[in-house]
Amino acid sequence: MHPSLIVLEATGGYEKGLVSALVEAKLPVAMVTPSWVRYFARSSGTLAKTDKIDARMLVRYGRANHPPVMKVRTEHQERMSALMARRSQVSTALVSEKNHLSTVMYPDVKALIQASIENLEQQIIQLEEMIAEIIDQCPELINNEKIICSVPGAGKITAAILLADLPELGTLDHKKIAALVGVAPFNRDSGYHRGKRRIKGGRQSIRKVL
């Protein structure tokens, strides 16, 4: 088989192994947002949902909309992405533990929570050191990090997630890259009515940081 495009839905990370295998095999892969495909199915009158129907809809969606082929990430970017994902998980757990600490009365329980907080804070330090080490190994990443950090309000964490999960950065114009990330506001106008603009979709890990 010589496919012109393989269209996949994002599935919360479970698709990563398949994407890596397809990219390694030099096959063209496009990742699409599941809700977009569902809207596409409804617009064609298809309300039922099964694996076979979903597969057919992905084919039809790909032929109709020509989603862009994913840019290949380097090994450095893949590792940084995994480290940044872990940092996000630890940060969420840290906030939760700090909230628990403020509501507990008993000293022995507080001590356990405090120990957990210190452990999570140490993990974040280790993760950030590992991320910095990866960037320091690649001159291109060092240069791109400097460019991103030159933007007011952008620091090393913002730079790291952009370098890891947005390999298209620098190859698309500002409107396309904003839409890809999910920070481009969508118009909701009709006649003389001008609705409120909202952002939607895109790459959640990047949009959350931005």
Q: What is the pLDDT of residues 99-153, one digit of tens each?
A: 999 898 899 999 999 999 999 999 999 999 999 999 999 898 999 999 999 999 9
Reduced to 3 states, what is the DSSP secondary structure of residue 187? coil
Give the pLDDT mean for 26-49: 88
| Angle (nearest 5°) at CA 187 between 181 and 188 | 130
Reduced to 3 states, what is the DSSP secondary structure of residue 166? coil
Give the pLDDT mean for 21-31: 87
Q: What is the pTM of this model?
A: 0.71
pLDDT tier for residue 91 given thresholds of 50, 70 and 90: very high
Whole-number pLDDT of residue 170: 84
Contact 198, 186 (CB under 8 A): yes
Write out the two tokens for 92.
Answer: 């969420």
The Cα-based distances of 147 to 119, 129, 140, 144 in angstroms read: 33, 20, 11, 5
119 or 198, which is more confident: 119
The phi-psi region of residue 195 (left if phi > 0; otherwise alpha if psi is between -120 and 50; otherwise beta) is: beta
